[in-house]
Chain A
Amino acid sequence: MVERKIGWEPQGSHTLVGGEIQRVDGKVKASGQAKYTNDINTPGTLFAKLLTSPHAHAKLVLLNIEKAKGVKGVKSVLAIAKVGDEIQYEGWPIVAIAAERPEFAEDGLRAVEFKFEPLPHFVDGSDFKGAVEADVTVGGKPLKLTKSVGKSGQGDVEVALKEAKHVHRGTYGIHMITHMSMEPHGSHAAWDGENLNVALSTENVSGTSGQYVQPVGVDAMNVNIRCDFLGSGFGSKSTVDEWDVACAKLAKATGKPVRLMLSRTTEMQIGGNRPSAFAEVTVACDAEGNVTAWDSRHWGSNGLQGSIVDHDVTPYVFLPKTRQSVSTGIATNCSPERPWRAPHHPQACAYTQTALDDLAAKAGIDSLQFFQKNLNLTSLPHIYGPELEIAAKLIDWKGKWHPRGKGSGNGPVKRGVGVALHTWDGAANQSNVTLKVHSDGSVEVVTGSQDVGTGTRTCIAQVAADTFGVSMSTIKVSLGSNQFPKAGPSEGSSTIGGVTGPVRRTAQQALWKILDLVAAKYTVERTTLTARDGKVWLGEKEVCTWKQAATLVGPMGLELYGGPVTEDEGLTNHQVGGVQMAEVAVDTETGVIRIVKMVAVQDAGMIVNRLLARSQVYSGLIMGIAYSLSEERIMDNKTGRFINANLNDYKLPRIGDIGDLVVEFYEPESEYKRGVIGLSEPPVISTGAAISNAVANAVGVRVPVLPLTPKRVLDALKGAKG
């Protein structure tokens, strides 16, 4: 008898789930045949461009769009801002123009007459004192830029610090970065009578139609959203933005389809930021290296809102019994924050675990031993413990670690290793699916979810094919439309759990129905039947083929609806732990850091697709290397501008900059049994602290602020020499 219970098979018994299965849409993506929003060019499509503010804070005192209307090829000009508006950041949209060709739209923009009256601005979120003293007004009223956004704590920190054996004080920081999605934000809009058909570059296919209702004047039921392929978003693409509204309005005004994608510079300016964070930390331990107290004050900016990294992730992962932290947000004339992969965790990890590593050095304890010793202050010691051991072997910690700055070799290039660890919730989102088994045996799964690069289509097809015991090509997955069953946004690593849960449950239910039909027809005991290799089996005896079994559902097919997954079904879970180790080589004459090797050991519950899962971890490591070494949204307080808002000057690592990346999944039975947990956010979190710690180990001093540019490295070395 085969037990009929919703859930995954025991570890090692799945045929496709857990395997290295190539992407079902890999060929169309690699050959450029996949159409992203940015590529949609239906007949008659007009191209729209935006005029944006060059000022961080200004009053718009003149705007004349009449001349632009007469420019050759221009079809419609829309003023988004109006005279008298107070512009609050660079990149603020002013005018949108739709024209027959993009060049004509640019000609049109050049014909717009405008004038700004600049107002005082403040854009440097690292400058606490400057923010207190800055003289910025909004609507003529003085604006207080700093505001307390929370504090937390327990125990008497002063007493604990007094009693401690080692106390370390330091200031740390991590600058603001931008999402820099390769496909910019934007949409293609076309009206068909009352219907508004939008291709939207979104991570939230099911949740965006309502956002058109009020600004465009359309009924939600008439808004059709599509996103077949998405050129990444990293958390920044879950809303309909004012430029998307402008696109729909231009389409209405012209009676033609219009495509409006942000230019690269505008994308970087207003497509989202990840807040900066700076912290003054005092941390203490006893003679054995047990951390006994944490005291911190952190500040930074997420742009206009003036908020900052949540104090409830401070300190990060390690929670000493006695601790307190206060946070102060700084409002800056910078476009607002949007969630950036693992919101707030990378920053909190960076200032917490570099400070802990400095304390370890002060106490004269090997960093790894220090982290291991304090795992009792974390919520996942049973995961971090074994992960640290695996990682240590993979990077040869024993062979490579040395007291700070005491590595072998007298040359200018110094090597070092560092460690850090992280956690992430990763609970499944609320997604619905329909699953249809046709009478020819082919299977369709439909959901209003999206593929942000994780491989949503592939994972769904894998789970369905595995459950029915058929090949991947038997399954067709449709997603990316708000006409499909509602699915949650791809935020916080929630998608793969969110969609595979209902697909598994619904496929199991469909299978059982079909097996019942087989049992009736072939007069065998229904609960002894199984499906694999395209056949239905009674033990080791073949009963019929899958195709024969499927005919029993009749010409209408078998269609089931699957609602969102809940954790008590055993299909999904939450909260993972991961550790990372870095080995770096630092040129102490030039300040240039080279990544030699990165090791990531990650728990993600049950892995659905090992090939794609590994890609997620590579991705985390590489984005981590980016913000650790070179990536920075450089805000110039004099001009108020994001001075490197282009891909030449906004430095991202290239293929030669990443070193040797080693990825290992920690998937013992205990974690496997938890089911699917989100994987995309965690591996980007501790990379910064691990690299910074490796650099400190190499050169003997802390370079306190990320990214660790050559200048910051040299400054730190100079500072250490006095």
Chain B
Amino acid sequence: MERDEVNRVGAGFSRREFLKGSGAAVVAGAAATSAVEGPLEAQQPATKIISAEPHTIKLNVNGKDQNLTVEPRVLLIDALRNDLNLTGCKDVCDRSTCGACTVLIDGKPVYACTRFAIEVVGQKVVTAESLHSLEKTDDVVTAFCKYDAIQCGFCTPGFVMAVRGFCNQNPGATEDACRRALGGNICRCGIYDGVLKAAYDTAQIAQ
């Protein structure tokens, strides 16, 4: 099965390791994203230990700063869904394997279940909800409707964000490149044909 290794790996550490012990180790914000780009040896970021107690943090989501109080173990996906009621990012696999929770962090598609909420302080998080309002509908959403890349729709916002992020980074991408890039998401209903067409269209518009 093709997977998107480039765009959607985690921050180079496992969630389980983090949960060991009483405190959680946190990677400095910038290191978290550079880890996905750097060579393996460079993925040994400095860590700091913070207490397991709830922390009040400020998250920038969809262009707005939001304060919330969460324990360090709370994942970004859960903070978005449970604290901010942004449920477009879906909790499906609990394994960082399905892509249903994809959001953009500083413009790049990331599985929201691979980040702690406190990790993304200082970064810009964008969720699917921001791509459609009465005033404006993003090209990706329009293309998904055009090609009916929607059935039950549960996996769909994750795909939409994966496409948005990919097309931002790869305007004019070929169909093959789209296919390779979108291997990080699973749909059970079978919308892949529509997704591919929608992604290709969006990539051309993004040029």
Please tell me if B92 contacts chain A, counting CB pairs below 8 Å. Answer: yes
Known contacts A32-B127, A182-B90; is-contact A452 B190 (Cβ 8 Å): no
Assess whether B153 is in contact with A231, with CB atoms less than 8 Å apart.
yes
Inter-chain contacts of A31 with B (CB < 8 A): 88, 128-132, 137-138, 141, 157, 160
Residues 51-84 of B, flagged 1 when their CB comes within 8 A of A and 0 if not, give: 0000000000000000000010110001001100
In the complex, chain A residues 24-43 whose Cβ is within 8 Å of any chain B Cβ: 25-36, 38-39, 41
Assess whether B154 is in contact with A231, with CB atoms less than 8 Å apart.
yes
Please tell me if B17 contacts chain A, counting CB pairs below 8 Å. Answer: no
Chain B interface category by residue count: 35 or more
Assess whether A646 is in contact with B94, with CB atoms less than 8 Å apart.
yes
- Most chain A C-beta atoms within 10 Å of own C-beta, residue among B3, B138, B190: B190
Assess whether A621 is in contact with B190, with CB atoms less than 8 Å apart.
yes
Please tell me if A658 contacts chain B, counting CB pairs below 8 Å. Answer: yes
Assess whether A34 is in contact with B1, with CB atoms less than 8 Å apart.
no
**Per a CB cutoff under 8 Å, which of A27, A103, A614 touches B74?**
A103
How many residues belonging to A are interface residues under a CB distance threshold of 8 Å?
Answer: 59
**Per a CB cutoff under 8 Å, which of B82, B98, B144, B151 touches A232?**
B151
**Per a CB cutoff under 8 Å, which of A29, A630, A647, A658 touches B150?**
A29
Assess whether A23 is in contact with B150, with CB atoms less than 8 Å apart.
yes
Inter-chain contacts of A33 with B (CB < 8 A): 88, 128-129, 132
Assess whether B87 is in contact with A32, with CB atoms less than 8 Å apart.
yes
Inter-chain contacts of B71 with A (CB < 8 A): 103
Q: How far is the CA of A26 from the CA of B144 in the complex (A)?
A: 8
Inter-chain contacts of B190 with A (CB < 8 A): 615, 618-623
Inter-chain contacts of A623 with B (CB < 8 A): 188, 190
Could you tell me the distance in whole angstroms from the C-beta of A71 to the nearest C-beta in chain B? 14
Assess whether A611 is in contact with B148, with CB atoms less than 8 Å apart.
yes
Assess whether A612 is in contact with B148, with CB atoms less than 8 Å apart.
yes
Known contacts A26-B150, A31-B160; is-contact A182 B82 (Cβ 8 Å): no
Assess whether A30 is in contact with B153, with CB atoms less than 8 Å apart.
yes
Residues 632-655 of A, flagged 1 when their CB comes within 8 A of B and 0 if not, give: 000000000000001110011111
Known contacts A622-B192, A658-B193; is-contact A27 B100 (Cβ 8 Å): no
Known contacts A618-B191, A646-B94, A656-B2; is-contact A102 B78 (Cβ 8 Å): yes
CB-nearest residue of chain B to A234? B188
The B interface is mostly helix, strand or loop, or mixed, namely: loop
Please tell me if B194 contacts chain A, counting CB pairs below 8 Å. Answer: yes
Residues 86-115 of B, flagged 1 when their CB comes within 8 A of A and 0 if not, give: 111111111101101000000000000000
CB-nearest residue of chain B to A233? B152
Q: How far is the CA of A47 from the CA of B91 in the complex (A)?
A: 14
Could you tell me the distance in whole angstroms from the C-beta of B191 to the nearest C-beta in chain A? 7
**Per a CB cutoff under 8 Å, which of A26, A264, A622, A646 touches B145?**
A26
**Per a CB cutoff under 8 Å, which of B78, B129, B152, B192 touches A231?**
B152
In the complex, chain B residues 162-207 whose Cβ is within 8 Å of any chain A Cβ: 179-180, 182-183, 185-196
Inter-chain contacts of B87 with A (CB < 8 A): 32, 35-36, 38-39, 41
Could you tell me the distance in whole angstroms from the C-beta of A627 to the nearest C-beta in chain B? 12
Assess whether B95 is in contact with A646, with CB atoms less than 8 Å apart.
yes
A binding-site residues for B, Cβ under 8 Å = 22-23, 25-36, 38-39, 41, 47, 101-103, 180-183, 229-232, 234, 263-265, 452-454, 611-612, 614-615, 618-623, 630, 646-648, 651-658, 661
B binding-site residues for A, Cβ under 8 Å = 1-3, 71, 73-74, 78, 81-82, 85-95, 97-98, 100, 127-132, 137-138, 140-141, 144-146, 148-157, 160, 179-180, 182-183, 185-196
Ranked nearest first, the 5 interchain pairs of A and B with the lowest CB-CB distance are: A32-B88, A622-B190, A29-B153, A231-B154, A32-B157
Kindly list 12 other residue pairs between chains A and B, CB separation below 8 angstroms, not including A22-B146, A23-B148, A648-B97: A29-B157, A32-B86, A32-B89, A33-B88, A34-B153, A38-B87, A231-B153, A232-B151, A620-B190, A646-B95, A654-B3, A658-B193
What would 14 A/B residue contacts be, using CB atoms closer than 8 Å? A23-B145, A29-B157, A30-B132, A30-B157, A47-B82, A181-B188, A182-B92, A230-B152, A264-B94, A264-B95, A614-B148, A615-B148, A651-B1, A656-B2
